[in-house]
C-alpha cells in the first residue's frame, strides 16, 4: 500500500481488525520512510468478476462505479449512507455468490433496481429512467403505475 505522504510502497501494518459490519478490514499502517501513519479499508473479494456489456464488450467489475451510479440516483435523498452501503455490499455478495465469473450488465442493473426500490422509490425511478433509457415523459407512466400497484397491494395486505 502506497504511503499518502511520501509515496513509499514499503508501508507496514501495525493493526488489523474487521469493521463493524465485517464487510472490510481496517488496517492501521505506518511508513518507515517518513513515519506517517494512516488507515486503509480493504474489502474481501470472493472472486474476480467480469461484466458483459450490452455491446458484448467485457470489462472488469468495478464496485466503485456501481456505488457512484447508486449515489447519483440517491443524490439529495434522505437515505442513511449506512443503508446504501449495506445494499451495495449485499449486491456485490449476491453477484459473487452466483457462481459465474462473467455477469451481464442487465443482471447488475436489475439487481440495483430491486435494491433501490426498497431503499427509495424516487432513486428507483431516477435509476430506471437512465437504465431503461427513457426518452419521453410518458415512458415513466408504466413504471409509476407499477409502483402504485405494489403500494396498493401492500396496503391491502396490511389491512387484512
Instruction: Tell whether 18 is covered by a domain.
Output: yes
Instruction: Tell whether 91 is covered by a domain.
Output: yes
* Three-state SS letters, 67-84: HHHHHHHCCCCCCCHHHH
Q: Based on the domain organization, do 143 and 75 belong to the same domain?
A: yes
| Predicted pLDDT at 88 | 93
- For residues 67 and 88, the answer to whether their CB atoms sit within 8 Å is yes
| Predicted pLDDT at 46 | 60
Q: Based on the domain organization, do 85 and 131 belong to the same domain?
A: yes
Q: Based on the domain organization, do 37 and 67 belong to the same domain?
A: no
Q: Going residue by residue through the chain (160 aa), what tens digit of pLDDT does each one get? A: 888 999 888 899 999 888 776 667 889 999 999 999 999 888 766 668 999 998 999 999 998 999 999 999 999 999 999 899 899 989 988 888 888 889 999 999 999 999 999 999 999 999 999 888 888 888 898 889 988 888 888 888 888 7
| Predicted pLDDT at 44 | 64
Q: Based on the domain organization, do 37 and 70 belong to the same domain?
A: no
Q: Based on the domain organization, do 37 and 63 belong to the same domain?
A: no
Q: Are strands 102-104 and 50-52 parallel, antiparallel or unpaired?
A: parallel
Q: Give me the number of domains the chain comprises.
A: 2
Q: What is the DSSP letter of 99?
A: S
Instruction: Tell whether 21 is covered by a domain.
Output: yes
Structural domain boundaries, residue 16? 12-43
CA distance 73 to 77: 9
| Predicted pLDDT at 97 | 85
Q: Based on the domain organization, do 101 and 151 belong to the same domain?
A: yes
Amino acid at each position: 500500500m502506497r504511503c499518502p505522504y511520501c509515496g513509499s510502497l514499503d508501508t507496514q501494518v501495525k493493526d488489523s481488525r474487521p469493521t463493524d459490519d465485517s464487510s472490510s478490514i481496517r488496517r492501521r499502517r505506518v511508513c518507515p520512510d517518513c513515519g506517517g501513519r494512516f488507515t486503509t479499508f480493504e474489502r474481501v473479494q470472493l472472486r474476480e468478476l467480469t461484466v458483459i456489456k450490452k455491446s458484448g464488450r467485457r470489462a472488469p467489475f468495478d464496485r466503485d462505479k456501481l456505488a457512484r451510479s447508486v449515489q447519483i440516483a440517491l443524490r439529495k435523498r434522505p437515505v442513511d449512507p449506512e443503508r446504501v452501503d449495506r445494499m451495495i455490499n449485499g449486491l456485490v455478495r449476491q453477484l459473487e455468490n452466483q457462481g459465474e465469473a462473467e455477469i451481464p450488465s442487465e443482471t447488475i442493473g436489475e439487481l440495483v433496481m430491486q435494491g433501490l426500490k426498497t431503499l427509495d422509490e424516487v432513486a428507483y425511478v431516477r435509476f430506471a429512467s437512465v437504465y431503461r433509457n427513457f426518452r419521453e415523459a410518458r415512458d415513466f407512466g408504466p413504471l409509476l403505475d407499477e409502483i402504485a400497484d405494489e403500494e396498493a397491494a401492500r396496503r391491502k395486505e396490511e389491512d387484512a
